[in-house]
């Protein structure tokens, strides 16, 4: 590989930064990668899909999925050449197929088929061509600490592929006529030929995106690991520095001659350029690209053999070291030799207390628990997101409603009336409400607790008008709003006289 021709900056990165580089490689070459994928897989997929439909079995499609390591080899070959300024044509990929597709393929299709680091290890087989003991040493060296995160990357791409396939499948199924069966059992068990073809084609379309992305991320992780181990960034830096020195050779010779002429001892003029070059090398190597630093914080036990441990350290030492010890401890005079049964009783007591406390909190949130011992319901401050506190309500309800109606704002007028009605009714007819209760839940609780007096029936009419206007976007007319307002004023007057 000619590192100088790399179209990406080869520098030490974290594993996830390397994965990000892989996504950039895929975005840059998404179109040619799609053509490579289709050229090598479209015909095999079509044949296996036809075989599956004719034989009414999923085994051919399973075979296509099992051969994914084979379909990934042309993609990696194209990436590895394109990164170093060599674009392979489809004809060249077909001609070189035996060279890049066969190394390590047998193991990847058998006992290493489910290896989570497949995208990373494929680069070792295909690009390095190592065999035997040399291959084992290379795999151990490249998979050594720190981790490449290739396994986690595989899990992420696998879930991405599944979610995209399910989402696309659901989209297609929701666009077909309702006469088409939408039962989940039909999707996965009693599938017709059409359903099987739709599901298979959907998965193949998703793999047209995820497979080139998966290969690109694995290739980027491989490049990053070799950059860390072999110092590719240092090699490129020294090469650039050498070329920079070569371009300045003539100027350096002239400068040396100019320094040598006036001085009797020419050696005194030579260290100047050498020191400057050494300083350039030192600054280059000390930069963040070549000498990355990582800070790591770890917690470890202090030396326990010094005899100066505190009582708390002795307690935790005994708790963690001897809690699962099945052997009977020897008699000792130390004060922290607590029996395991006592420790387990303490643990389960704390656990049960925490569980009961959480259960009580959940019941309170659902309105099933009693917050006050006198069982008096607490008047909420908000219902369905609407503030029903007195200070938030208008002092003159009719004037506020008429102002909203004059501005043709039916929603605001009904909101003012509903907030005022809820504030008054919940004080006259207290009821337990859970946090986040809606208008209809509040109405149902009022009916269940206090029956159907005239104010609650009025609230039902007002709630229906509010839902029709605010949520169904079918606003009532202004006359209906004024009728509801007049009815509320009459109910309020009658309630005040009755009181």
Domain map (residue ranges) of the chain: 3-230, 234-285, 382-498
pTM of the model as a whole = 0.49
Both tokens assigned to 204:
């193949």
Task: Give the Cα separation of 290 and 270 in Å (integer).
Answer: 29
More confident residue, 272 or 424: 424
User: Prior bond to 146 cis, omega within 30?
Assistant: yes
Average pLDDT over residues 346-370: 79
User: How many H-runs (helices) and E-runs (strands) does the chain carry?
Assistant: 22, 2
More confident residue, 470 or 147: 470
The region of weakest confidence among 71-85, 167-181, 246-260, 307-321 is 246-260
207 pLDDT band (50/70/90 cuts)?
very high
For 90-149, the pLDDT digits (tens) are 888 888 888 888 888 888 888 888 888 888 888 888 888 777 777 778 787 787 777 778
3-state secondary structure (DSSP) of residue 386: strand
Give the pLDDT confidence score for residue 45 in this predicted structure: 92
| Max CA pair span of the chain | 122
Give the pLDDT confidence score for residue 214 in this predicted structure: 93
324 pLDDT band (50/70/90 cuts)?
very low
- Side-chain-facing half-sphere of 298: CA atoms under 13 Å: 5
Residue 375 phi/psi, 5° resolution? 60, 20
Identify whether the C-beta of residue 29 lies closer than 8 Å to the C-beta of residue 173: no
Q: Is beta strand 382-383 parallel, antiparallel or unpaired with respect to 386-387? A: antiparallel
For 227-253, the pLDDT digits (tens) are 877 766 556 656 666 565 555 555 555
Identify whether the C-beta of residue 123 lies closer than 8 Å to the C-beta of residue 218: yes
268 pLDDT band (50/70/90 cuts)?
very low
Give the pLDDT confidence score for residue 191 in this predicted structure: 58
Identify whether the C-beta of residue 461 lies closer than 8 Å to the C-beta of residue 393: no
Give the pLDDT confidence score for residue 240 in this predicted structure: 60
């Amino acid at each position: 590989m000619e590192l100088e021709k790399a179209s990406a900056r080869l520098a030490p990165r974290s594993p996830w930064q390397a994965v990000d580089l892989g996504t950039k490689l895929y975005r840059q070459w998404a179109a040619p990668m799609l053509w490579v994928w289709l050229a090598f897989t479209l015909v095999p997929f079509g044949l296996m899909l036809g075989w599956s439909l004719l034989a009414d079995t999923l085994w051919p499609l399973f075979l296509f999925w099992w051969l994914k390591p084979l379909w990934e080899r042309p993609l990696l070959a194209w990436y590895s050449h394109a990164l170093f300024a060599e674009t392979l044509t489809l004809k060249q990929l077909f001609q070189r197929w035996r060279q890049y597709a066969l190394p390590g393929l047998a193991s990847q299709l058998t006992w290493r088929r489910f290896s989570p680091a497949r995208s990373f290890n494929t680069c070792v087989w295909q690009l390095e061509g190592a065999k035997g003991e040399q291959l084992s040493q290379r795999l151990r060296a490249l998979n050594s600490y720190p981790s490449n995160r290739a396994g986690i990357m595989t899990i992420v791409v696998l879930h991405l592929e599944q979610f995209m396939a399910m989402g696309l499948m659901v989209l297609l199924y929701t666009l077909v006529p309702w006469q088409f069966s939408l039962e989940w059992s039909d999707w996965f068990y009693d599938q017709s030929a059409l359903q099987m073809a739709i599901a298979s084609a959907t998965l193949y379309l998703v793999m047209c995106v995820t497979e080139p992305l998966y290969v690109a991320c694995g290739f980027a992780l491989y490049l990053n690991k070799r950059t860390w181990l072999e110092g590719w960034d240092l090699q490129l830096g020294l090469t650039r520095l050498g070329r920079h020195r070569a371009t300045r050779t003539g100027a350096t010779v002239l400068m040396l001659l100019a320094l040598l002429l006036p001085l009797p001892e020419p050696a005194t003029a030579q260290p100047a350029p050498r020191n400057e070059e050494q300083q350039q090398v030192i600054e280059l190597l000390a930069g963040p690209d070549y000498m990355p630093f990582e800070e790591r914080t770890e917690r470890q036990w202090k030396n326990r053999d010094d005899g100066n441990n505190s009582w708390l350290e002795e307690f935790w030492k005994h708790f963690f070291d001897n809690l699962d010890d099945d052997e009977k401890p020897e008699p000792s005079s130390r004060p922290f030799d607590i029996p395991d049964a006592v420790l387990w009783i303490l643990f389960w007591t704390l656990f049960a207390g925490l569980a009961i406390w959480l259960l009580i909190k959940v019941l309170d949130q659902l309105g099933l628990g009693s917050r006050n011992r006198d069982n008096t319901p607490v008047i909420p401050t908000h219902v369905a997101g609407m503030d029903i506190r007195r200070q938030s309500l208008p002092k003159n309800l009719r004037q506020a409603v008429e102002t909203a109606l004059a501005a043709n704002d039916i929603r605001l007028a009904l909101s003012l009336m509903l907030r005022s009605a809820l504030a008054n009714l919940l004080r006259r007819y207290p009821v337990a409400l859970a946090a986040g209760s809606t208008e209809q839940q509040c109405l149902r609780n009022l009916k269940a607790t206090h029956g159907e007096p005239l104010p609650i029936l009025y609230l039902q009419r007002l709630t229906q008008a509010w839902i029709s206007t605010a949520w169904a976007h079918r606003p009532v007319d202004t006359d209906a709003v004024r009728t509801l307002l007049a009815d509320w004023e009459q109910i309020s007057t009658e309630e005040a006289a009755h009181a």
